[in-house]
């Protein structure tokens, strides 16, 4: 058993953990749950020696456990799989799996590829990987890339493996494969701790729940004795009045705000026909790469058309650049918030006004108007920040996502394109973002949303379109109310 007692961790003046005590056992799956900034990832990183603890102690099977580096933690049997993808595509699969042990397979500067590939393949076989160590790494999907990271952790022969939001950027099928790997590891006697904002994952795979809030321990509960409503209340510190998803509005009766007719994108997606009215949320579901992202990219001016036509308010719309989409009052929230959504080194104010810079006064930007624009979005989206001049990179994931949404809304769009709008966001922030999106639709925006989160897709959309292999496989119209099984059937 790995036991942590009274663990505290500070980053400057910010207290990330406050006297947290928790136990982790082999052959058990523990889910760490809580809002963004609750301290979940920090606790795992402290125990994996990514961060030094500020106070507290830990034991492993009763003996003091105080590794000074991540490598030292791995040698003592504790491995961490990070949220961010950490695989080099300039290396082969076997090299990535055995990255920390390459010296063991080289002599006089030459790698013994036969031994290296065999060692990597043995680990991949252990977790039932659906690819081989000698395959082309560039042909793997995100779920398979994440499997490489799990295999790399297993190469250290761990007793405990920690997963920090490892399914955040995976689609439904990819996440299911990773969950199968976790079950396999548990069956092999390895202790698992994982962070996830997906309730269905938490209840599907965990034995125990450790709930954190504001860096402190709320409680440790058997999963079988917990309900989703009770867990949500413990995480956010209040009852989510009315549930997670706001009620749907009336069926829009007006003409289409956005319309696609026989659209074929340069990447080969299509032909696609769709229409979205003002006041409507059209949700697009499907496996990653099945077409939804390409549809958004075409509307956002990011992907040229190879055929068909697009129309905005009845007029031909053919953007050559994202600036054309912005000029047409179409805003796009990308799926990768740190890679495409915000500049993490910039302030909250600078990011919120990035796409809608106010007019200049002479040669200077109108700073007072920028401040008003930022303040409006901070208040409307309830962005938790010490001030508009705070660096965005210091915010929690949920608040960073709100900044990306606020940047879009600052442009006063008529059409809002959303690519997984609550990816990596806790349940409290999700409820707030859903409330904002539903209100925007009620105020007349047309919303097109791609989501790999099935409850989100079904709970927030007025209509649901399912894409498969670049084609529209099914459209569930108003009032159809499909369940998850029906939607997944059309995805596969």
Identify the CA nearest to 86 among candidates 28, 31, 152, 133: 152
Q: Would you say residue 150 has pLDDT above 60?
A: yes
- Closest to 44 (Cα-Cα) out of 278, 205, 186, 212: 212
The answer to whether residues 7 and 60 belong to one domain is yes
Q: What pLDDT, on a 0 to 100 scale, did the predictor assign at position 427?
A: 79
Place 384 in a pLDDT band, splitting at 50, 70 and 90: confident
Q: Tell me which of 204, 236, 268 is where a domain ends.
A: 236
pLDDT (0 to 100) of residue 365: 60
Distance CA(21)–CA(6), nearest Å, equals 5
Write down the pLDDT at residue 59: 96
Evaluate whether residue 385 is within a structural domain.
Answer: yes
Which residue in 304, 258, 307, 302 sits closest to 279, CA to CA?
A: 258
Q: Are residues 183 and 270 in the same domain?
A: no
- Are residues 96 and 88 in contact, defined by beta-carbon separation less than 8 angstroms? yes
One domain, residues 169 and 290: no
The per-residue pLDDT for range 450-479, each reduced to its tens digit, is 998 888 999 999 999 999 999 999 999 988
Does 246 fall in a domain?
Answer: no
Same domain, 404 and 311: yes
Instruction: Indicate whether 244 belongs to any domain.
Output: no
- Domain of residue 272: give its range: 256-491
Examine the fold and report which residue of 202, 236, 270 is the final residue of a domain before the chain moves on.
236
Question: Could you report the per-residue pLDDT of 481-491, keeping only the tens digit for each?
Answer: 898 889 988 98
Question: Which residue bears the tokens 């709930």?
Answer: 211
Three-state secondary structure of the chain: CEEEEEEEEEECCEEEEEEEEEEECCCCEEEEECCCCCCHHHHHHHHCCCCCCCEEEEEECCEECCCCCHHHHHHCCEEEECCCCCCCCCCCHHHHHCHHHHHHHEECCEECHHHHHHHHHHHHHHCCCCCCCCCCHHHCCHHHHHHHHHHHHHCCCCCEEEEECCCCCCCHHHHHHHHHHHHHHHHCCCEEEEECCCHHHHHHHCCEEEEEECCEEEEEEEHHHCCHHHHHHHHHCCCCCCCCCCCCCCCCCCCEEEEEEEEEECCCCCCEEEEEECCCEEEEECCCCCCHHHHHHHHCCCCCEEEEEEEECCEECCCCCHHHHHHCCEEEECCCHHHHHCCCCCEHHHHHCCCCCCCEECCEECHHHHHHHHHHHHHHHCCCCCCCCCEHHHCCHHHHHHHHHHHHHCCCCCEEEEECCCCCCCHHHHHHHHHHHHHHHHCCCEEEEECCCHHHHHHHCCEEEEEECCEEEEEECCCCCCCHHHHHHHHC
Same domain (yes/no): 213, 358: no
Q: In what order do the strands lie in the sheet with 78-81?
A: 78-81, 160-164, 191-195, 29-33, 208-213, 216-222
Q: Are residues 185 and 261 in the same domain?
A: no
Q: Do residue 148 and residue 33 come from a single domain?
A: yes
Neighbouring C-beta atoms of residue 437, cutoff 10 Å? 23
- The pTM (predicted TM-score) of the whole model is 0.70
291 and 382, same structural domain?
yes
Residues 208, 307, single domain; the answer is no
Does 247 map to a domain?
no
Q: What is the mean pLDDT of the chain?
A: 88
228 and 285 housed in the same domain: no
166-179 residue pLDDT tens: 777 676 777 788 88
The structure tokens listed for 450 are 């791609």
Asked whether residue 29 is assigned to any structural domain, the reply reads: yes
- Helix 142-154 and helix 172-187, axial crossing angle in degrees, nearest 10: 20
Is residue 245 in a domain?
A: no
- 50 and 12 both lie in a single domain: yes
CA-CA distances (angstroms) from residue 486 to 99, 121, 174, 467, 472?
42, 36, 19, 13, 15
Residues 395, 414: Cα–Cα separation, whole Å: 28
Express as a percent the part of the chain with pLDDT over 70: 96
Range with lowest mean pLDDT among 70-79, 126-135, 421-430, 455-464 = 421-430
71 in a structural domain = yes
More confident residue, 77 or 177: 77
Range 213-238 average pLDDT: 87
For 246-303, write each residue's pLDDT tens digit.
Answer: 888 788 878 899 999 999 999 899 899 999 999 999 999 988 788 999 999 999 999 9
Residue 408 pLDDT > 90: yes
Domain final residue, candidates 236, 271, 288: 236
> In the structure encoding, which two tokens stand for residue 129, read together?
């990987």
The residue to which tokens 């319309």 are assigned: 259
Site of tokens 């510190």: 237
Residue 444 lies in a domain: yes
Task: State how many domains the chain has.
Answer: 2
* CATH number, domain containing residue 342: 3.40.50.300
Same domain (yes/no): 97, 129: yes
What would the pLDDT profile of 352-375 be if each residue is shown by its tens digit?
988 876 555 554 567 788 888 888
| pLDDT at residue 361, rounded to an integer | 54
Range of weakest confidence among 108-112, 116-120, 235-239, 276-280: 235-239
């Amino acid at each position: 058993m790995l036991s942590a007692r009274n663990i505290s961790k500070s980053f400057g003046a910010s207290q990330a953990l406050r006297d947290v005590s928790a136990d982790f056992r082999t052959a058990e799956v523990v889910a760490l749950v809580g809002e963004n900034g609750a301290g979940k990832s920090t606790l795992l990183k402290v125990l994996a020696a990514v961060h030094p603890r500020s106070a507290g102690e830990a034991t492993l099977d009763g003996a003091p456990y105080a590794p000074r580096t991540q490598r030292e933690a791995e040698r003592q049997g504790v491995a961490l799989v990070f949220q961010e993808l950490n695989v080099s595509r300039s290396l082969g699969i076997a090299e990535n799996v055995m990255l920390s042990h390459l010296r063991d397979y080289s002599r006089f500067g030459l790698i013994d590829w036969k031994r290296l590939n065999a060692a990597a393949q043995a680990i991949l076989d252990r977790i039932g990987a659906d690819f081989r160590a000698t395959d082309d790494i560039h042909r793997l999907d995100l779920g398979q890339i994440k499997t490489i990271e799990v295999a790399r952790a297993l190469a250290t022969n761990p007793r405990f493996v920690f997963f920090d939001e490892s399914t955040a950027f995976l689609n439904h099928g990819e996440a299911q494969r990773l969950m199968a790997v976790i079950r396999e590891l548990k069956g092999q006697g390895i202790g698992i701790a994982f962070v996830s904002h997906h309730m269905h994952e938490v209840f599907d795979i965990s034995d125990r729940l450790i709930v954190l809030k504001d860096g402190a321990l709320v409680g440790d509960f058997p999963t079988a004795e917990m309900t989703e409503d009770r867990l949500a209340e413990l995480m956010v510190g209040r009852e989510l009045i009315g549930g997670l998803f706001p009620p749907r509005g009336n069926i829009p009766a007006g003409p289409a705000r956005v319309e696609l007719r026989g659209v074929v994108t340069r990447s080969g997606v299509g032909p696609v026909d769709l229409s979205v009215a003002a006041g409507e949320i059209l949700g697009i579901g499907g496996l990653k790469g099945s077409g939804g992202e390409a549809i958004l990219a075409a509307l956002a001016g990011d992907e040229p058309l190879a055929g068909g036509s697009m129309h905005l308010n009845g007029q031909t719309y053919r953007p050559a650049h994202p600036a054309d989409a912005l000029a047409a009052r179409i805003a796009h929230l990308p799926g990768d918030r740190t890679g495409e959504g915000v500049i993490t080194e910039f302030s909250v104010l600078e990011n919120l006004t990035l796409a809608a810079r106010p007019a200049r006064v002479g040669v200077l930007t109108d700073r007072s108007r920028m401040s008003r624009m930022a303040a409006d979005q901070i208040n409307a989206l309830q962005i938790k920040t010490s001030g508009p001049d705070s660096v965005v990179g210091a915010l929690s994931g949920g608040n960073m996502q709100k900044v990306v949404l606020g940047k879009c809304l600052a442009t006063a769009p008529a059409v809002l394109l959303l690519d997984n709008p609550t990816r990596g966001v806790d349940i409290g922030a999700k409820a707030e973002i859903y409330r904002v999106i539903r209100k925007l639709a009620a105020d007349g925006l047309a919303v097109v949303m791609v989501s790999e989160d099935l409850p989100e897709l079904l709970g927030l959309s007025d209509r649901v379109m399912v894409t498969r292999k670049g084609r529209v496989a099914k459209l569930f119209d108003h009032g159809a109310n499909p369940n998850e099984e029906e939607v997944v059937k059309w995805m596969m």
